[in-house]
Amino acid sequence: MSALASLPPDPRVRTSIRTIAVVVAVTLFMMAMSLWWGTGSVRLGPVTAWNALFDSENAERLEVVAAEARVVRILMSVLVGAALASAGALLQTLYRNPLASPEITGVTQGSVVAVVVWLVYGPRESADPDWLFPVIGCIGGIAAGLLTYAVSRLGGRVDPLRLILVGVLLGGLLGSLLGLALIASDGLGLDLISWTVGTVQSATWGRVGLLAAALAVCLPLVVIAIPYGNALALGEDVAQGTGLTVNRARGVVLFAAAAVTAAAVSLVGGIGFVGLVAPHLVRRRTGSDLRRLLPTAAVVGALLVLVADFASRNIRPRDLATPFGAAEMVGAFALPTGVYLALIGAPFFIHLLRRQP
């Protein structure tokens, strides 16, 4: 906070605070609506939902179970969205390109592949503890991130182009391995495939706690990375002129983004596009200073995943296909959260592509 206070008065500080307040309000409303509005087999009104939440005596009542399941998903969505949006803000600053996002660092793919490979090829005699595969996913994601950085560094300089290329290269390789594992995974099938695009469906209290703890550990890292990111945003030469070791600064920012991304995707799978979209939605109001951009983007990211999960819970593709007489062409599978985020992300992507400076 002291750093903020020493800034010259900037009108965008006030705009940012106002933006955050509005988005937080919308997010809270969305959380509430997500809790009581649903087309599933159990219908909860606002009052029923509220009562069910605090009804500890009848733990088996259908409403109580449903309300609790929804709360878990809501919390998971919020945490994941905030994490990925923060990573996206850091990466867009690092690459100095509005198209950068956590998916291109190899971290997302690394985590997804680690989990899928573990589930397909790993030993399956005993029931795994709840925390095991997130830890594996996290290790896979961070390993992929470190590999990206290490390979980019081989030539001496860590420039954005090399980071992107290595990320793409690693992503392609991991995609190949993922295909192999999925072919070998008869029986696990669709659940694994939805994991590859990301789903909040598998959330439990334990996993929410795990993610919250992991993000709490990452928070200091992100705070440390913010000034580095801001310095890098000035351009390599200026950054160097301020006495910054550019390679190390890039490493710090990349690692912070990778750690946050790995924590999130190891619990929900390969959710993408939050990191691409969220920073853009707020940049015009907050400016590019990460101190304002990152927290605002985090709240917007939470809102985005919340909306996507709400859609994923309540939209059934078969119902949509029925009016067109195509019901028999569509299976009963509810689409995972990541699909709706991609739907939000696709027009954005095209827009950004066209508007690139």
Partner 1 sequence: MTTTGLRAESGTGPVVRSVAVAAAAIVVIAVLGLYSLTQGEPDSTLGAVLDNLFRTGPIEGDIDSLLIREVRLPRVLMALIAGAALGIAGVLLQDSMRNPLADPTLLGVAQGAGFIIALSALYPEVVPPLPTTILCFIGGTLAGILVLGLSRDARNPVKVVLAGAMLSILLGTASTVVILIAPRARAAGVLEYFRFVIGSFFDVRWESIGLVLPWFVIAIPIALLSARVVNLLQLGDETASGLGLNPGRARIGLLLLAMVLVTPYVAAIGPIGFVSLFAPHVSRSLIASTDARLVMAISALIGAAILLIADTAARLLFFPFEIPAGVFTWIIVGPLALVLVGRLGGRGATA
- Residues within the interface to partner 1 (CB under 8 A): 95, 97, 99-101, 103-104, 151, 154-155, 157, 159-162, 164-169, 171-173, 175-180, 182-183, 189-190, 193-194, 196-197, 272, 276, 317, 328-331, 333, 335-336, 338-339, 342, 345-346, 349-350, 353-354, 356
Strand, coil or helix: what is 122?
coil
For CA atoms 122, 124, 125, 130, the dihedral sign is positive
At its nearest, how many Å lie between partner 1 and the CB of residue 173? 4
Least Cβ distance, residue 213 to partner 1 (angstroms): 29
Q: For residue 75, what are its two tokens?
A: 């919390």
Q: Which residues of 161-196 are buried (b: 16+ CB within 10 A; e: fewer)?
A: ebbbebbeebbeebeeebeebbeebeeeeebbbbbb
Q: How far is the CB of 262 from partner 1 (least distance, A)?
A: 17
Distance CA 145, CA 211 (A): 19
Q: With respect to partner 1, which residue has the nearer C-beta, 51 or 98?
A: 98
CB of 54 vs partner 1, minimal distance in Å: 36
Beta carbon nearer to partner 1, 133 or 340: 340
Least distance to partner 1 from the beta carbon of 161, Å?
A: 4
Q: How far apart are CA 335 and CA 185, in angstroms?
A: 20
- Give the nearest distance from C-beta 35 to partner 1 in angstroms: 26
Which ranges in 234-245 belong to alpha helices (H)?
Answer: 236-241
The token duo for 52 is 């069910």
Q: Which is nearer to partner 1, 210 or 265 (CB)?
A: 265
Q: Which is nearer to partner 1, 167 or 279 (CB)?
A: 167
Q: Nearest distance from residue 107's CB to partner 1, in Å?
A: 13
Q: First and final CA of the chain: distance in angstroms? A: 33
**Residues 335 and 312 sit within 8 Å (Cβ to Cβ):** yes
**Which of residues 181 and 225 has its CB atom nearest to partner 1 in the complex?**
181
The C-alpha atoms of residue 109 and residue 262 are separated, in whole angstroms, by 10
Q: Which is nearer to partner 1, 56 or 356 (CB)?
A: 356
Nearer to partner 1, 262 or 339 (CB): 339
How buried is residue 217: exposed, middle or buried, by Cβ count under 10 Å (0-12/13-18/19+)?
A: exposed
User: Counting Cβ atoms within 10 Å, is residue 70 exposed (0-12), middle (13-18) or buried (19+)?
Assistant: buried
Q: Which is nearer to partner 1, 196 or 230 (CB)?
A: 196
C-alpha–C-alpha distance, residues 106 and 96, integer Å: 18
Question: Least distance to partner 1 from the beta carbon of 133, Å?
Answer: 20
231-234 contacts: CB < 8 A, separation 24 or more?
232/93, 232/94, 232/96, 233/93, 233/96, 233/288, 233/290
